Chains A and B, each alone.
Chain A
Amino acid sequence: MSGIRLEQVTVSVPTQDGERRILHETSLELTERRVALVGPNGSGKSTLARLLNGLVPATTGRVVVDGLDVAHEGREVRRRVGFVFTDPAAQLVMPTAREDVALSLRRTHRDKTERLVAADRVLADFGLAGFGDRSVHGLSGGEGQLLALAGVLATGPSILVADEPTTLLDLGNSRRIGDLLLGLEQQLVVVTHDLDLAERCDRVLLVRDGRVERDGSPADVVGHYRATA
């Protein structure tokens, strides 16, 4: 039951004169612990990633996560699939770090005092002890992304999807976030332009022009991408 399955999925968007297919028919089964999606800008990586928690609905076909149909059991799917985006500023919605993590804990911790204590524990787990009262506006890119990740993982997902989580970060921070992602116990699906990160995954998919052009071992797919980019 566990894992991600795409059954003959296509995604189309409406245009002035009809519609444009941004993801051509794709069938996939992702069971590896760490999967990377690479490919040029505008190739459909985000579309593919967003299908996994229903942010983008499949136009035809079915997306199944842990045996749940994303189209019909969206709420249950979102509990299992955490999603991290590129820009921390868009993901952090509360004024302070503690409150932002606490927002994620609203479902599991009804009592407010307990919730704030739990939030501090989460912050400490992510090396953000002492950041509780800091404004989310004042964090550096690396700290912000770390906090965004903490907020998402605090909800206890079994799968984490990350769409270019390191694109805005400097080398050191991008390595730090990359290491953290690769070390997670959750299944990871990461969209990235960082080919070093992709090479450290268990499976890599190259997306081009709305199709999975190549799918296999990191050495093979990243090698092919480097040769044809």
Chain B
Amino acid sequence: MSAQLLGLHQPGTTWLHRLPAGAKLLGLMAASLVVVLVHGPASAVVFVLVAAGLVVWSGARLGFTLRAMRWLLLTAAILGAWTVWQNGWPRAVEVVGDLVALILLATTLTVTTPVDEVMDAVARGLRPLRRVGVDPEAVALAFSLMLRAIPTTIGLAEESRDAAVARGLERSPRARLIPFVVRVVARAHDTGDALHARGIGDD
């Protein structure tokens, strides 16, 4: 249920909605580069605040968005705890901050842009590479599948957790992790078959 929202376009009229998909995509790439390249905990905090501001501005329903992201946030928290232990606080703030900022930036893109437009923009942007053998449509589809994989994967994680809880194994990381990995791989495999059968990628 909570996985539904992530990666889903929410129609709106904000400036972010009206910006062309290609511009937003370039912006996301540039911003991601900045987030990854600029080091230090202070900048990470700024990135999170800016990205959170964008999500708010996009008009995404906040409670809903936070609930949809709670598994990603939990993962970020675990990563953070581990980094505190291994490398201390400043490094942990930087790692978690960068991760959360990237998630929020991607969320802004998906909330304000129909995937079809993102795909078209990717395909257009890659058209010059056709001469060197790149298939722009295929890359665009791969991109949209990547966006689609986020909510799917979270859904599968919730399923795996529920199954583990139902068997009284909620404390066992193995009982949660192994079925989860199996589910993700199986789903990816099935989706590949379905795409193949629909003739997508044939032309």
Contact = CB atoms under 8 A, between A and B. Distances in A.
B199 A85 contact: no
Interface string B170-203: 0000000000000000010011011111111011
Interface string A77-112: 011011101010111011110010011101100001
A135 B190 contact: no
Contact of A99 (B114, B195, B203): B114
Interface in A115-160: 116, 133, 135, 137-138, 148, 151-152, 155
Given A85-B193, A99-B115, A94 B198 contact: no
B155 A78 contact: no
Contacts of A112: 116, 120
Contacts of A82: 197-198
A53 interface: yes
A137 B116 contact: no
B93 interface: no
Contact of B8 (A53, A78, A95, A151): A95
B97 interface: no
B122 interface: no
Given A94-B115, A95-B115, A89 B152 contact: yes
Interface of B is mostly: helix
Candidate in A55, A89, A106, A137 with the most chain B CB atoms within 10 angstroms: A137
Contact of A83 (B155, B191, B197): B197
Nearest to A148: B194
Contact of A103 (B7, B120, B151, B200): B200
Given A85-B190, A90-B190, A112-B116, A55 B199 contact: no
Of residues B145, B148, B187, which shows the largest number of chain A Cβ atoms within 10 Å of its Cβ? B148
Contacts of B194: 83, 85, 90-91, 93, 148
B120 A155 contact: no
Contact of A94 (B144, B187, B196): B144
Contacts of A85: 190, 193-194, 197
Contacts of A83: 194, 197-198
What 5 A-B pairs are tightest by C-beta distance, nearest first? A83-B197, A90-B190, A137-B4, A91-B194, A78-B199
27 contacts: A75-B199, A78-B198, A78-B199, A79-B199, A82-B197, A82-B198, A83-B197, A85-B193, A90-B187, A90-B194, A93-B144, A93-B194, A93-B195, A95-B7, A95-B9, A95-B148, A96-B8, A99-B114, A107-B199, A107-B203, A112-B116, A137-B3, A137-B4, A137-B8, A137-B151, A137-B152, A151-B198
